[in-house]
Protein backbone atom coordinates (compact mmCIF):
# COMPACT_ATOMS: atom_id res chain seq x y z
CA UNK A 1 0.00 0.00 0.00
CA UNK A 2 2.85 2.37 0.84
CA UNK A 3 4.41 1.61 -2.56
CA UNK A 4 1.09 2.41 -4.26
CA UNK A 5 0.79 5.74 -2.47
CA UNK A 6 4.44 6.58 -3.14
CA UNK A 7 3.99 5.67 -6.82
CA UNK A 8 0.86 7.82 -7.12
CA UNK A 9 2.57 10.80 -5.45
CA UNK A 10 5.73 10.48 -7.55
CA UNK A 11 3.71 10.02 -10.73
CA UNK A 12 1.70 13.14 -10.02
CA UNK A 13 4.82 15.16 -9.19
CA UNK A 14 6.65 14.09 -12.34
CA UNK A 15 3.64 14.37 -14.63
CA UNK A 16 2.38 17.69 -13.35
CA UNK A 17 -1.17 18.37 -12.38
CA UNK A 18 -4.10 20.06 -14.02
CA UNK A 19 -6.35 22.31 -11.98
CA UNK A 20 -10.11 21.81 -12.10
CA UNK A 21 -12.77 23.95 -10.42
CA UNK A 22 -16.26 22.90 -9.34
CA UNK A 23 -18.50 24.71 -6.87
CA UNK A 24 -15.55 26.78 -5.64
CA UNK A 25 -13.64 23.66 -4.66
CA UNK A 26 -10.18 23.43 -6.15
CA UNK A 27 -9.12 19.95 -7.16
CA UNK A 28 -6.40 18.63 -9.40
CA UNK A 29 -6.46 15.84 -11.94
CA UNK A 30 -4.09 13.27 -10.57
CA UNK A 31 -2.58 11.07 -13.33
CA UNK A 32 -2.25 7.64 -11.74
CA UNK A 33 -1.50 3.99 -12.38
CA UNK A 34 -3.18 1.32 -10.29
CA UNK A 35 -1.41 -1.86 -9.28
CA UNK A 36 -3.94 -4.44 -8.09
CA UNK A 37 -2.48 -7.67 -6.74
CA UNK A 38 0.86 -6.80 -8.31
CA UNK A 39 -0.47 -6.18 -11.83
CA UNK A 40 -0.93 -2.79 -13.47
CA UNK A 41 -4.62 -2.19 -14.09
CA UNK A 42 -5.36 0.48 -16.72
CA UNK A 43 -7.86 3.12 -15.61
CA UNK A 44 -10.91 3.26 -17.86
CA UNK A 45 -11.09 6.59 -19.77
CA UNK A 46 -14.35 7.65 -18.07
CA UNK A 47 -12.66 7.65 -14.65
CA UNK A 48 -10.40 10.33 -13.16
CA UNK A 49 -8.35 10.40 -9.97
CA UNK A 50 -8.54 13.74 -8.14
CA UNK A 51 -6.37 15.42 -5.55
CA UNK A 52 -8.14 17.65 -3.04
CA UNK A 53 -6.35 19.08 0.00
CA UNK A 54 -3.51 16.58 -0.40
CA UNK A 55 -5.80 13.53 -0.55
CA UNK A 56 -6.25 11.29 -3.58
CA UNK A 57 -9.89 10.56 -4.48
CA UNK A 58 -10.19 7.40 -6.53
CA UNK A 59 -13.13 6.02 -8.53
CA UNK A 60 -14.69 3.60 -6.05
CA UNK A 61 -16.56 1.57 -8.72
CA UNK A 62 -13.35 1.03 -10.72
CA UNK A 63 -11.39 -0.05 -7.64
CA UNK A 64 -14.15 -2.29 -6.22
CA UNK A 65 -14.91 -4.10 -9.48
CA UNK A 66 -11.22 -4.62 -10.28
CA UNK A 67 -10.73 -6.19 -6.86
CA UNK A 68 -13.56 -8.66 -7.55
CA UNK A 69 -16.20 -6.87 -5.49
CA UNK A 70 -19.72 -5.68 -6.15
CA UNK A 71 -20.87 -2.09 -5.66
CA UNK A 72 -24.33 -0.57 -5.46
CA UNK A 73 -25.62 2.97 -5.21
CA UNK A 74 -28.93 4.30 -3.89
CA UNK A 75 -30.30 7.76 -3.17
CA UNK A 76 -33.05 7.60 -0.53
CA UNK A 77 -34.46 10.79 0.99
CA UNK A 78 -31.46 12.83 -0.25
CA UNK A 79 -29.02 10.43 1.42
CA UNK A 80 -26.53 8.69 -0.84
CA UNK A 81 -25.69 5.11 0.07
CA UNK A 82 -22.79 3.23 -1.48
CA UNK A 83 -22.69 -0.49 -0.70
CA UNK A 84 -19.51 -2.48 -1.31
CA UNK A 85 -19.44 -6.26 -0.90
CA UNK A 86 -16.42 -8.44 -1.56
CA UNK A 87 -15.02 -11.74 -0.40
CA UNK A 88 -12.27 -10.76 2.06
CA UNK A 89 -8.78 -12.15 1.48
CA UNK A 90 -7.86 -14.91 3.87
CA UNK A 91 -11.48 -15.95 4.48
CA UNK A 92 -12.74 -19.26 3.12
CA UNK A 93 -15.09 -19.03 0.14
CA UNK A 94 -17.46 -21.99 -0.03
CA UNK A 95 -18.77 -23.69 -3.16
CA UNK A 96 -21.03 -26.65 -3.86
CA UNK A 97 -19.68 -28.94 -6.59
CA UNK A 98 -23.23 -29.47 -7.95
CA UNK A 99 -23.73 -25.68 -8.36
CA UNK A 100 -20.23 -24.14 -8.67
CA UNK A 101 -21.66 -20.82 -9.91
CA UNK A 102 -22.94 -20.13 -6.35
CA UNK A 103 -20.42 -19.11 -3.70
CA UNK A 104 -20.84 -18.22 -0.04
CA UNK A 105 -18.47 -16.75 2.50
CA UNK A 106 -18.73 -16.27 6.24
CA UNK A 107 -17.89 -12.86 7.59
CA UNK A 108 -18.89 -13.07 11.21
CA UNK A 109 -20.54 -15.33 13.77
CA UNK A 110 -21.53 -14.09 17.21
CA UNK A 111 -23.81 -15.11 20.06
CA UNK A 112 -27.04 -13.25 20.71
CA UNK A 113 -28.77 -14.85 23.68
CA UNK A 114 -29.34 -18.52 22.89
CA UNK A 115 -28.74 -18.06 19.14
CA UNK A 116 -25.76 -17.62 16.85
CA UNK A 117 -26.06 -14.77 14.38
CA UNK A 118 -24.50 -15.54 11.00
CA UNK A 119 -23.51 -12.68 8.69
CA UNK A 120 -22.13 -13.67 5.32
CA UNK A 121 -21.94 -13.12 1.60
CA UNK A 122 -23.59 -14.90 -1.32
CA UNK A 123 -22.75 -14.60 -5.00
CA UNK A 124 -23.85 -16.17 -8.25
CA UNK A 125 -21.93 -15.99 -11.51
CA UNK A 126 -23.59 -17.55 -14.56
CA UNK A 127 -21.37 -16.53 -17.46
CA UNK A 128 -24.02 -17.31 -20.08
CA UNK A 129 -26.58 -14.86 -18.59
CA UNK A 130 -26.64 -11.04 -18.61
CA UNK A 131 -25.44 -9.24 -15.48
CA UNK A 132 -28.93 -8.03 -14.47
CA UNK A 133 -30.56 -11.51 -14.54
CA UNK A 134 -32.29 -12.18 -11.21
CA UNK A 135 -32.04 -15.49 -9.37
CA UNK A 136 -33.68 -17.03 -6.36
CA UNK A 137 -31.10 -19.11 -4.49
CA UNK A 138 -31.76 -21.35 -1.50
CA UNK A 139 -28.89 -22.95 0.36
CA UNK A 140 -27.77 -24.52 3.62
CA UNK A 141 -24.60 -24.03 5.63
CA UNK A 142 -23.85 -27.07 7.78
CA UNK A 143 -21.47 -26.50 10.70
CA UNK A 144 -19.34 -29.40 11.95
CA UNK A 145 -16.96 -30.01 14.84
CA UNK A 146 -13.49 -31.62 14.49
CA UNK A 147 -14.85 -35.18 14.43
CA UNK A 148 -17.52 -34.44 11.76
CA UNK A 149 -20.45 -34.16 14.19
CA UNK A 150 -23.09 -31.79 12.84
CA UNK A 151 -23.53 -28.84 15.21
CA UNK A 152 -26.22 -26.91 13.31
CA UNK A 153 -27.59 -26.16 9.85
CA UNK A 154 -28.36 -22.60 8.74
CA UNK A 155 -30.87 -22.20 5.89
CA UNK A 156 -31.15 -19.13 3.69
CA UNK A 157 -33.35 -18.28 0.69
CA UNK A 158 -33.15 -15.18 -1.51
CA UNK A 159 -36.78 -15.57 -2.70
CA UNK A 160 -37.82 -12.29 -1.02
CA UNK A 161 -34.70 -10.46 -2.20
CA UNK A 162 -33.47 -12.09 -5.43
CA UNK A 163 -29.78 -11.81 -6.26
CA UNK A 164 -28.50 -10.42 -9.56
CA UNK A 165 -26.07 -12.37 -11.68
CA UNK A 166 -22.47 -11.43 -10.73
CA UNK A 167 -23.70 -9.62 -7.59
CA UNK A 168 -22.32 -10.26 -4.10
CA UNK A 169 -25.19 -10.02 -1.61
CA UNK A 170 -24.90 -9.56 2.16
CA UNK A 171 -26.83 -12.22 4.10
CA UNK A 172 -27.88 -12.21 7.74
CA UNK A 173 -29.71 -14.71 9.91
CA UNK A 174 -29.43 -16.94 12.96
CA UNK A 175 -29.64 -20.48 14.27
CA UNK A 176 -30.54 -21.70 17.74
CA UNK A 177 -27.50 -22.70 19.80
CA UNK A 178 -23.81 -21.85 19.93
CA UNK A 179 -22.17 -22.47 16.54
CA UNK A 180 -19.16 -20.22 17.17
CA UNK A 181 -16.95 -23.20 18.11
CA UNK A 182 -17.36 -24.98 14.75
CA UNK A 183 -14.34 -26.53 12.99
CA UNK A 184 -15.53 -26.37 9.38
CA UNK A 185 -18.61 -25.58 7.33
CA UNK A 186 -20.10 -27.03 4.13
CA UNK A 187 -22.34 -25.32 1.57
CA UNK A 188 -25.22 -27.18 -0.05
CA UNK A 189 -27.22 -25.35 -2.74
CA UNK A 190 -30.87 -26.42 -2.60
CA UNK A 191 -32.20 -24.49 -5.63
CA UNK A 192 -31.26 -21.89 -8.21
CA UNK A 193 -34.18 -20.40 -10.17
CA UNK A 194 -34.48 -17.46 -12.55
Domain check: are 123 and 165 in the same one? Answer: yes
Domain check: are 61 and 124 in the same one? Answer: no
Q: Is residue 159 part of a domain?
A: yes
Q: Is residue 165 part of a domain?
A: yes
Q: Is residue 83 part of a domain?
A: no
Residues in the chain: 194
* C-alpha Rg value of the chain to the nearest Å: 21
CB-facing half-sphere around the CA of 63: CA atoms within 13 A? 10
Expressed as residue numbers, the domain containing 143 is 93-193
Domain check: are 104 and 187 in the same one? Answer: yes
pLDDT digits (tens, 9 = 90+) for 96-137: 999 999 999 877 899 999 999 999 999 999 988 888 899 999
pLDDT digits (tens, 9 = 90+) for 67-99: 888 888 888 888 888 888 888 877 889 999 999
Question: If pLDDT is split at 50, 70 and 90, which confidence band does 23 have?
Answer: low
Tell me which of 144 and 81 has the higher pLDDT. Answer: 144
- Whole-model pTM: value is 0.68
Domain check: are 35 and 99 in the same one? Answer: no
- Name 129's Cβ contacts closer than 8 Å, sequence gap at least 6: 165, 194
Distance from chain centroid for Cα 113: 29
C-alpha distances in Å from residue 17, one per residue of 7, 11, 29, 116, 121: 15, 10, 6, 52, 40
Long-range contacts of 85-91 (CB under 8 A, 24+ apart): 85/121, 85/167, 85/168, 85/169, 85/170, 86/121, 86/168, 87/121, 87/123, 87/168
Indicate the number of domains in the chain.
2
- Would you say 48 and 59 are in contact if contact means Cβ atoms under 8 Å apart? yes
Q: Is residue 74 part of a domain?
A: no
Domain check: are 173 and 106 in the same one? Answer: yes
Q: Is residue 80 part of a domain?
A: no
Amino acid sequence: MKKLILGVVLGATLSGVTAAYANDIQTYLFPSHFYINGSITPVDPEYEVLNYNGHAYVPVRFITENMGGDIGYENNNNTNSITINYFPAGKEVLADSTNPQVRAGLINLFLDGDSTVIAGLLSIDVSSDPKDTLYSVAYELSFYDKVENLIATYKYDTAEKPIKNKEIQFTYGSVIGDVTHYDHVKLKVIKVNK
